[in-house]
Amino acid sequence: MKYRFSKSLEGFSSSAVREILKLTQGSSIISFAGGLPAEEFFPLDAVSEAFKRVTEGGKSALQYGLTEGYKPLRETLCRRMAAKNMHVTPDEMLLTTGSQQVIDLLTRVYIDEGDVILVERPTYLAALQVFQAKGAKIYSVDSDSDGMILSDLQAKIAKYNPKLIYVIPTFSNPAGRVWSVERRQGVLELCQAAEVLILEDDPYGEIQFHGDETYPTIFSLAGAPTGSGVIYTSTFSKTVAPAFRTGWAIADQEIIRQMARFKQSADLHSSSIDQQTLYHLLEHFDLDAHIELIRANYRERMEYMTGLLEELNWPGLKWEKPKGGMFIWVELPEAIKAEDLLKIAVQEGVAFVPGSTFYAENPKYNTMRLNYTHTNRETTARGMQMLAKAMESYLQNV
Amino acid sequence: MKYRFSKSLEGFSSSAVREILKLTQGSSIISFAGGLPAEEFFPLDAVSEAFKRVTEGGKSALQYGLTEGYKPLRETLCRRMAAKNMHVTPDEMLLTTGSQQVIDLLTRVYIDEGDVILVERPTYLAALQVFQAKGAKIYSVDSDSDGMILSDLQAKIAKYNPKLIYVIPTFSNPAGRVWSVERRQGVLELCQAAEVLILEDDPYGEIQFHGDETYPTIFSLAGAPTGSGVIYTSTFSKTVAPAFRTGWAIADQEIIRQMARFKQSADLHSSSIDQQTLYHLLEHFDLDAHIELIRANYRERMEYMTGLLEELNWPGLKWEKPKGGMFIWVELPEAIKAEDLLKIAVQEGVAFVPGSTFYAENPKYNTMRLNYTHTNRETTARGMQMLAKAMESYLQNV
């Protein structure tokens, strides 16, 4: 039988890069490609302990749960959010299957085919895919190391009348940037004035290397969520572990309610065993101390990798040392195409993500994203040597 | 700020019934409304044991997993499927957040606005919602106690040129029906001839009261999945426990691949902790013996509730004793509107689902769905007394 797939599939750009990276999965190739946390820091004992508490609570732990998510976990998360100046009630929060599902659900309730969405330049690949599959028109706003450039944002709001803007202001993916407070405030004001909903994605905010600096979320600058026009999302994937697939959204209750309606028909609810386990983990485990441990170790890994990058001494290489998060964004000399470099690198035994995949339009082909959190010192050193060799071969063949 | 939600929201029928039922959640009201399994039979010790094995495997258990789902669980499930004459490889299977997500993902990859979907009359409410939200046109095919009526299906295929048909052939929700083999075969032939994709939803197939009867799935009748035009879905929610939110789809690899692409942007993957736990559970726990236990207990509960229904001796009451599954479908005298009866019943302290919500069109208002699996003997007896009282009040006020 001939299948008649939906036209939504046309929105999915099939990517040669994805195919190459798929080949590296499960192989012995050293990967700087993914956004994987370091397994050695996963709090496995605390997770075991927390799960034990779940089962000690009796069999009802295994029953269907609420679409909105396990309420005690929402309550705990509200307290954690309040400590970051984001004041919400459990009714203004939705627990999801990772923050990826927040992007998807919001797109489903808010975007129609042909609606315009603004994004950073560059931005998170899997958000672009969600927007494309929905048939949205995506335009990117120029950004520098302080965040989105306000004059360009203002011009693009005027030109395109966007419905939504998607931003990662703290340790962005892929560029590793931190927005200044002024830019955060400026984006908030411009968007509120033009009624552009802001989706603030903050998976990396906790992975902060300089304890003395504070980066207020746009959500916190907007004050109370009702009518604020800001929806904020984060996840436990980077602070506890990804396998739980537990993220959350906070927003105006009207938005949360509509997303919950869609979530109900999308999957009824996310795993409530995982949500209950995380609840007990937060009650009995010092997550903040654990985050300090991750910060220190990831910072060390970042310093080590940027040190190796410096030693490479490639001509025309540009990058900024990240202040947090999981990625180094590297600009190669203009003539170098990172996608071609990747093919050689994979043969050498190392992978990264070519930066071109992170652009909504007019990709910069001479960019690459390196993840420094997943590989230890020894593996990182070997991987960087392979990368150096790949670059040598590349330059010889140009 | 004024929010500009997507027009998909218009597809969501807001239902007075849902609002009433929402009030019963967490209250002391006896509920025959939900489709909840009995908590007392959840295999909590086996789950604890299985989770322990997951953590003993080390920290990598907490890392990101594959979009397609934990491969060892897919392999085990392939063997379980093969025992039911459904022969697939792990690449022809996708693990999801409950079988609800299969309905959603398939709709996303296969249905465009305005496409026609055929369903049973009556059918599963939350499938209708998914189809409506996508803007599909839904028509129901007449059914009797043997399943879909083939002449009506043939006429509707000719009239509407549907892209998809959604069916629950074994212990259907809400009607509790089992299709005859002839109807299964007939639907398969008609749909294959007209290139109508069949979505066979089988959450209740294992909850079978007569061990000597066999109900071949439509998927098994179709043979090898490639080009068969049948996608089959089931779940662990009714056999192990719902909180894991683990379901699966099997189909032609082309369909699975497209669904996996959408799943990746929907939520990356479902909880792999839950999938790993279920894998170890299936390895070390006799799930089939456990299913026998559930069957025996649910059958007893069904017998008890149908016995009480008989004792009620309401004039004009019609129902068929289910051969499996979780629901009794009751037809009241034509003059009685179940939605009005529900309002009184909730005041008395008992809830059910009025049947009208299960129709794609022309609802029958004099129908109701009763769940018998969740309440024990004593609670069922009290609930049925309350229902009798509600009916008395209703008849007095007509």
Q: What is the pLDDT of residues A274-331, one digit of tens each?
A: 999 999 999 999 999 999 999 999 999 999 999 999 998 788 899 999 999 999 999 9
Decide if B126 and A272 are in contact by the 8 Å CB cutoff.
no
Tens-place pLDDT, residues A111-146: 999 999 999 999 999 999 999 999 999 999 999 999
Query: Which of A9, A55, A62, A281 should we substitute to test contact with B (largest number of B Cβ atoms within 10 Å)?
Result: A62
Chain A partners within 8 Å of B203 (Cβ): none
Backbone φ, ψ for residue B43 (5° rounding): -80, 70
Find, in chain A, the residue whose alpha carbon is nearest to that of B275. A243
Rounded-to-integer distance, Cα A172 and Cα B1, Å: 26
- The tokens for A26 are 């499960």
Sign of CA dihedral A181, A187, A190, A194: negative
Rounded-to-integer distance, Cα B130 and Cα A19, Å: 31
Nearest partner of A326 among A34, A7, A27, A28, judged by Cα: A34
Query: Which of B267, B275, B276 should we substitute to test contact with A (largest number of A Cβ atoms within 10 Å)?
Result: B267
Tens-place pLDDT, residues A149-161: 999 999 999 999 9
Average pLDDT, chain A: 94
Chain B partners within 8 Å of A63 (Cβ): 36-37, 39, 42, 241-243
Decide if B3 and A267 are in contact by the 8 Å CB cutoff.
no
Decide if B109 and A243 are in contact by the 8 Å CB cutoff.
no
* Cα–Cα distance list, B86 to A48, A290, A388, B236 (Å): 36, 47, 50, 17
Find, in chain B, the residue whose alpha carbon is nearest to that of A193. B1
For chain A, domains (ranges, CATH) are 7-42+289-397 (3.90.1150.10), 45-284 (3.40.640.10)
Decide if B42 and A52 are in contact by the 8 Å CB cutoff.
no
Sign of CA dihedral A127, A132, A135, A139: positive
Q: Could you tell me whether strands B30-31 and A30-31 are parallel, antiparallel, or unpaired per DSSP bridges?
A: unpaired
Whether residue B373 contacts residue B36, with contact meaning beta carbons closer than 8 Å, is answered with yes
The pLDDT assigned to B23 comes to 72
Whether residue B101 contacts residue B122, with contact meaning beta carbons closer than 8 Å, is answered with no
Per-residue pLDDT of chain B (398 residues; tens, 9 = 90+): 899 999 988 877 666 666 777 777 767 899 999 899 999 999 999 999 999 999 999 999 999 999 999 999 999 999 999 999 999 999 999 999 999 999 999 999 999 999 999 999 999 999 999 999 999 999 999 999 999 999 999 999 999 999 999 999 999 999 999 999 999 999 999 999 999 999 999 999 999 999 888 899 999 999 999 999 999 999 999 999 999 999 999 999 999 999 999 999 999 999 999 999 999 999 999 999 999 999 999 999 999 999 999 998 788 899 999 999 999 999 999 889 999 999 999 999 999 999 999 999 999 999 999 999 999 999 999 999 999 999 999 988 87
- The tokens for A285 are 């485990």
Å from A61 to nearest chain B CA?
7
Rounded-to-integer distance, Cα A38 and Cα A377, Å: 12
Decide if A109 and B48 are in contact by the 8 Å CB cutoff.
no
Indicate whether A345 pLDDT > 90.
yes
Chain A partners within 8 Å of B228 (Cβ): 1
Question: Which residues, in sequence order, are CB contacts of B363 under 8 Å at separation 6+?
Answer: B355, B356, B357
On the 0-12 / 13-18 / 19+ scale of CB atoms within 10 A, B135 is middle
Å from B241 to nearest chain A CA?
6
Q: Could you tell me whether strands B116-120 and B164-167 are parallel, antiparallel, or unpaired per DSSP bridges?
A: parallel
Write down the H helix ranges in chain B. Answer: 16-24, 44-56, 71-82, 98-110, 125-133, 150-160, 181-194, 218-222, 253-267, 272-284, 287-312, 338-348, 377-397
Find, in chain B, the residue whose alpha carbon is nearest to that of A251. B3
Query: Which residues, in sequence order, are bridge partners of residue B31?
Result: B351
Nearest partner of A95 among A69, A115, A72, judged by Cα: A69
Rounded-to-integer distance, Cα A393 and Cα A29, Å: 18
Nearest partner of B163 among B134, B185, B204, judged by Cα: B134
Whether residue B351 contacts residue B21, with contact meaning beta carbons closer than 8 Å, is answered with yes
Decide if B8 and A112 are in contact by the 8 Å CB cutoff.
yes
Decide if A108 and B6 are in contact by the 8 Å CB cutoff.
yes
Å from A268 to nearest chain B CA?
7
Chain A partners within 8 Å of B69 (Cβ): none
Concatenated DSSP letters of B124-156:
-HHHHHHHHHTT-EEEEEPEETTEE-HHHHHHH
Nearest partner of A178 among A321, A30, A356, judged by Cα: A321
User: ∠ at Cα A235 (A229, A241), nearest 5°?
Assistant: 175
Find, in chain A, the residue whose alpha carbon is nearest to that of B22. A66
Decide if A237 and B104 are in contact by the 8 Å CB cutoff.
no
Decide if A55 and B48 are in contact by the 8 Å CB cutoff.
yes
Backbone φ, ψ for residue B347 (5° rounding): -65, -35
Decide if B63 and A9 are in contact by the 8 Å CB cutoff.
no
Tokens 């008609």 belong to which residue?
Answer: B190
Nearest partner of B230 among B192, B204, B258, B180, judged by Cα: B192
Chain B partners within 8 Å of A253 (Cβ): none
Indicate whether A13 pLDDT > 70.
no
The pLDDT assigned to A102 comes to 98
On the 0-12 / 13-18 / 19+ scale of CB atoms within 10 A, B111 is buried
Å from B309 to nearest chain A CA?
27
Whether ipTM tops 0.85, in short, is yes
The pLDDT assigned to A214 comes to 87
SS3 at position B78: helix
Rounded-to-integer distance, Cα B107 and Cα B199, Å: 10
Edge to edge, the sheet with strand B246-250 lists B93-97, B246-250, B230-235, B197-201, B164-167, B116-120, B137-141
Write down the H helix ranges in chain A. Answer: 16-24, 44-56, 71-82, 98-110, 125-133, 150-160, 181-193, 218-222, 253-267, 272-284, 287-312, 338-348, 377-397
The pLDDT assigned to A117 comes to 98
Rounded-to-integer distance, Cα B70 and Cα B74, Å: 6
Question: Cis bond leading into A162, ω under 30°?
Answer: no
Whether residue A174 contacts residue A119, with contact meaning beta carbons closer than 8 Å, is answered with no
Chain A partners within 8 Å of B225 (Cβ): none
The pLDDT assigned to B13 comes to 64
* Cα–Cα distance list, B50 to A53, A63, A241, A254, A379 (Å): 15, 18, 19, 40, 33
Chain A partners within 8 Å of B2 (Cβ): 195
Whether residue A3 contacts residue B106, with contact meaning beta carbons closer than 8 Å, is answered with no
Backbone φ, ψ for residue A86 (5° rounding): -115, 105
Nearest partner of A9 among A133, A126, A136, A138, judged by Cα: A133
CB-nearest partner of A130 from B104, B110, B265: B265
Whether residue B97 contacts residue B267, with contact meaning beta carbons closer than 8 Å, is answered with yes
The pLDDT assigned to B27 comes to 78
